[in-house]
């Protein structure tokens, strides 16, 4: 979590719509194959405005794919208005599916949109990527407000007495998030305590660096990240694919950190905290965040196929982020800045003659 630097000024505007957003997709590399994908032209719901009709690649989902959807990509505080339409303004939340197995990562303001999406899809009889299970595992990177404030607004889940939310916290030396949430979500900071919610909340603690093994046998690796009060990075290995989420983090000197380099090595996709530009970082040193340049350095050193930058600065507008993305892609074409509601599908890697097939890159899609 960080504040706006002194050189930035806020711009007020209208609240960003929750409706379908057609957003330009930059694919990783010219001529790259996109196995398991179909092309169609996405509809333009507004027929006007700065975002026009685009042709994008939408995945034909495999039931065993490793998928990621960004429900919030902004850092520190939510933003809204006409300058934040393309990339979005909600704070961190990701939906990760290892085949049918769901994990949610962080509970920023984007968690509300996640709940609404699955509720509306269910009420309309639509497929919402298998919906939400009765028991949900919520992995927390850490407990700063931009990563936790959305928890009471995760509707309809928190209003369902048949639902259980397991929270997993690894940056408190083995303690769970229970005591911290009891302090945060109670008067005078919050009108009610979490125990008034009909759902069941079960809090689990672990130490970053441990491997989480769940009752169904699914395993998720973790690593401690450099951030005030610590943060947890997560690694998901499924169907021959690897996804690493590395946020929040401040890069070290020297860089890359050897342990982190090993942790993300060979990932198909790495999500990385690139909140600051190199020009902003010196006055924000010690605030716990990094730059896209350091993300590219780590990705290149570790052989990461695709890099997604997240935890976007609340003062970086769509125009600013498009310029940053173009600069980044000039150095690493398979890198991009994450957009709210964007989905990445990592199709299972087929095995041929005992060897994994590595030719396909992730497909990007929007609802």
Q: How far apart are CA 87 and CA 51, in angstroms?
A: 11
Tell me which of 169-173, 293-297, 315-319, 352-356 is least confident.
Answer: 352-356
The stretch 248-258 carries a mean pLDDT of 95
> At 282, is the pLDDT very low, low, confident or very high (cuts 50, 70, 90)?
confident
> At 9, is the pLDDT very low, low, confident or very high (cuts 50, 70, 90)?
very low
CB of 211 within 8 A of CB of 237?
Answer: no
On the 0-12 / 13-18 / 19+ scale of CB atoms within 10 A, 189 is: exposed
Q: How far apart are CA 261 and CA 332, in angstroms?
A: 18
Taking Cα atoms as reference points, which of 169, 227, 165, 232 lies closest to residue 201? 165
Per-residue pLDDT at 21: 36
- Cα within 13 Å of Cα(64), Cβ side: 8
pLDDT at 367 over 70: no
Percent of the chain past pLDDT 90, that is, above it, reads 71
Q: How far apart are CA 309 and CA 256, in angstroms?
A: 17
3-class secondary-structure state, position 138: strand
The 10s digit of each residue's pLDDT in 32-61 is 333 333 322 333 333 333 322 223 344 456
Angle between helices 318-331 and 292-302 (to 10 degrees): 30
Per-residue pLDDT at 283: 87
pLDDT at 114 over 50: yes
> At 81, is the pLDDT very low, low, confident or very high (cuts 50, 70, 90)?
very high
> At 280, is the pLDDT very low, low, confident or very high (cuts 50, 70, 90)?
very high
3-class secondary-structure state, position 71: strand
Q: How far apart are CA 365 and CA 43, in angstroms?
A: 13
* Cβ neighbours, 10 Å, residue 24: 14
- Strand ranges inside the chain, DSSP E: 37-41, 55-59, 66-72, 93-98, 101-105, 135-140, 164-169, 200-205, 211-213, 219-225, 231-238, 241-246, 269-273, 306-310, 335-337, 343-346, 351-352, 355-356, 363-365
Q: In the 8-state DSSP scheme, what is residue 297? A: H
Q: How far apart are CA 202 and CA 181, in angstroms?
A: 12
On the 0-12 / 13-18 / 19+ scale of CB atoms within 10 A, 297 is: middle
CB of 113 within 8 A of CB of 153?
Answer: no
> At 155, is the pLDDT very low, low, confident or very high (cuts 50, 70, 90)?
very high
Q: How far apart are CA 188 and CA 136, in angstroms?
A: 29
Paired with 94 in beta bridges are 70, 105
**Dihedral Cα 162, 166, 167, 172, nearest 10 deg:** 140
Q: How far apart are CA 177 and CA 66, in angstroms?
A: 27
Per-residue pLDDT at 14: 24
Q: How far apart are CA 75 and CA 207, in angstroms?
A: 24
- Domain residue spans in the chain? 66-349
Q: How far apart are CA 89 and CA 321, in angstroms?
A: 13
Q: What is the largest CA-CA distance in the chain?
A: 63
- Better-scored residue on pLDDT, 31 or 205: 205
If you average pLDDT over every residue of the chain, what do you get?
82
> Exposure pattern of 202-217 as b/e (b: 16+ CB <10 Å)?
ebbbbebeeebeeeee
CB of 354 within 8 A of CB of 27?
Answer: no
The 10s digit of each residue's pLDDT in 100-113 is 999 999 999 999 99
The 10s digit of each residue's pLDDT in 166-175 is 999 999 999 9
Q: How far apart are CA 302 and CA 42, in angstroms?
A: 35
The 10s digit of each residue's pLDDT in 128-140 is 445 899 999 999 9
Taking Cα atoms as reference points, which of 241, 199, 206 lies closest to residue 224? 206
- The highest-level CATH class for domain 66-349 is alpha beta
């Amino acid at each position: 979590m960080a504040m706006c630097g002194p050189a930035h000024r806020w711009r007020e505007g209208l609240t960003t719509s929750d409706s379908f957003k057609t957003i330009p997709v930059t694919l990783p590399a010219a001529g790259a194959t996109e196995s398991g994908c179909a092309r169609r032209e996405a509809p333009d719901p507004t027929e006007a405005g700065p975002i026009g009709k685009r042709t994008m690649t939408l995945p034909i989902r495999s039931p065993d794919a490793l998928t990621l959807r960004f429900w919030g990509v902004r850092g520190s505080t939510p933003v809204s208005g006409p300058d934040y339409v393309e990339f979005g303004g909600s704070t961190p939340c990701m939906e990760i599916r290892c085949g049918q197995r769901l994990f949610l990562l962080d509970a920023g303001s984007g968690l509300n949109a996640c709940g609404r999406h699955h509720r509306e899809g269910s009420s309309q009889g639509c497929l919402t990527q298998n919906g939400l299970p009765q028991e949900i595992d919520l992995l927390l990177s850490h407990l700063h407000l931009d990563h936790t404030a959305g928890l009471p607004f995760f509707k309809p889940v928190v209003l369902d007495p048949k639902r259980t939310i397991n929270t997993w916290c690894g940056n408190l030396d083995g303690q769970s998030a229970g005591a911290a949430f009891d302090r945060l979500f109670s008067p005078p900071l919050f009108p009610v305590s979490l125990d008034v919610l009909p759902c069941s909340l079960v809090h689990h603690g672990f130490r970053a660096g441990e491997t989480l093994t769940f009752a169904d046998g699914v395993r998720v690796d973790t690593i401690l990240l450099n951030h005030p009060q610590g943060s947890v990075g997560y690694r998901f290995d499924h169907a021959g694919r690897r996804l690493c989420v590395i946020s929040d983090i401040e890069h070290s000197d020297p860089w890359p950190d050897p342990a982190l380099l090993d942790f993300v090595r060979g990932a198909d996709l790495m999500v990385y905290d690139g909140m600051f530009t190199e020009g902003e970082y010196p006055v924000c040193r010690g605030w716990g965040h990094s730059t896209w340049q350091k993300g590219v350095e780590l990705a290149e050193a570790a052989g990461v196929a695709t890099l997604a930058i997240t935890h976007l600065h609340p003062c970086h507008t769509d125009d600013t982020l498009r310029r940053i993305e173009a600069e980044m892609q000039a150095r690493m074409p398979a890198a991009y800045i994450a957009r709210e509601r964007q989905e990445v599908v990592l199709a299972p890697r087929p095995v041929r003659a005992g060897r994994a097939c590595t030719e396909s890159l992730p497909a990007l899609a929007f609802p």
